[in-house]
Amino acid sequence: MEKIVILTGAGISAESGLSTFRDTGGIWAQHAVEDVATPEAFARNPDLVHEFYNARRAKAADVAPNPAHLALARLEREHAGQVIVVTQNVDALHEAAGSGSVIHMHGALNGALCAACGHRWPAPQEMRTSDPCPACSATSTRPDVVWFGEMPYQMDAIWQHLEEADIFAAIGTSGNVYPAAAFGQHAGRAGAHTIELNLEPSVNVRDFAELRHGPAGSIVPAWVEELLSRQT
């Protein structure tokens, strides 16, 4: 049974109405990374960081999965082998579409994390630094997301999945951020067929054996249809 491992990035949620980071007019054109997405930024100005994530949480609560998310959920349901989605996205659109095996390597907007004791709990819609941790009462509440310089989540499990993959697909990611940017090369060297599905060639385009460029909402359902028709 073929094991399929899929990395997703902001591009898969673009047609749902969520901004990407590095496209023209994207999130990093409106906010400096060093102001909102580093542990130092949170130490310096936690209110600004919460404002940034509260706005994104509100926006994410207002959107729905698009045909690309739905196609990956269908793939998991109908493919005879294992399908694992590793997402860099902090939205919950894969789960909303029905995907069950999802790893959020950069965390999730719907999670709160105590910077003092490491306790995790479901995030309220509006988070404030002064929200006390339910476990230790410290007022160091932060979004449970992975900032630059922090270790992405579940890396041991992810490397293992990449080594076991028969097919590795990267969808809607520019390939600028490590370690996710190295997954195509890693999976290819371990023997997987590698495929990039993105609006345009990513910076790691040479790591992929197969390329499909276009909007995820069109090219992902077509790819899934092909995979599923091959197995019947």
By the 8 A CB rule, do 32 and 135 touch? no
Known catalytic residue: 186? no
- 110 touching ligand BJW, by CB under 6 A: no
List the catalytic residue out of 31, 69, 104, 106.
Answer: 106
Q: Contact with ligand BJW (CB under 6 A): which of 145, 162, 187, 224?
A: 145
Q: Which is nearer to ligand BJW, 191 or 214 (CB)?
A: 214
Q: Contact with ligand BJW (CB under 6 A): which of 23, 35, 163, 166?
A: 23
**Residue tagged 């980071």 (tokens):** 21
Q: Which is nearer to ligand BJW, 54 or 202 (CB)?
A: 202
Stretch that binds ligand BJW, among 162-170, 185-193, 196-204, 221-229 (CB under 6 A): 196-204
Q: For residues 205, 208, 214 and 216, what is the CA-based torsion angle, rounded to 10 degrees?
A: -120
Which residue intervals of the chain are DSSP H helices? Answer: 11-14, 27-30, 33-36, 39-44, 46-60, 67-78, 93-97, 155-164, 183-189, 216-231
- 11 touching ligand BJW, by CB under 6 A: yes
Residue 111 to residue 153: CA distance in whole angstroms: 13
Residue 188 to residue 13: CA distance in whole angstroms: 25
For ligand BJW (CB under 6 A), the number of binding residues is 35
- 149 touching ligand BJW, by CB under 6 A: yes
CB neighbour class for 137 (10 Å; exposed up to 12, middle 13-18, buried from 19): exposed
Using CB under 6 A, which residues numbered 70 to 99 contact ligand BJW? 88, 90
Q: Smallest distance, Å, CB 81 to ligand BJW?
A: 25
Q: Smallest distance, Å, CB 38 to ligand BJW?
A: 9
Residue 123 to residue 141: CA distance in whole angstroms: 10
- Which residues are annotated as catalytic? 106
Can you give the binding site for ligand BJW, defined by CB under 6 A? 9-11, 14-15, 20-23, 26, 37, 88, 90, 106, 145-152, 172-174, 176-179, 198-200, 202, 215-216
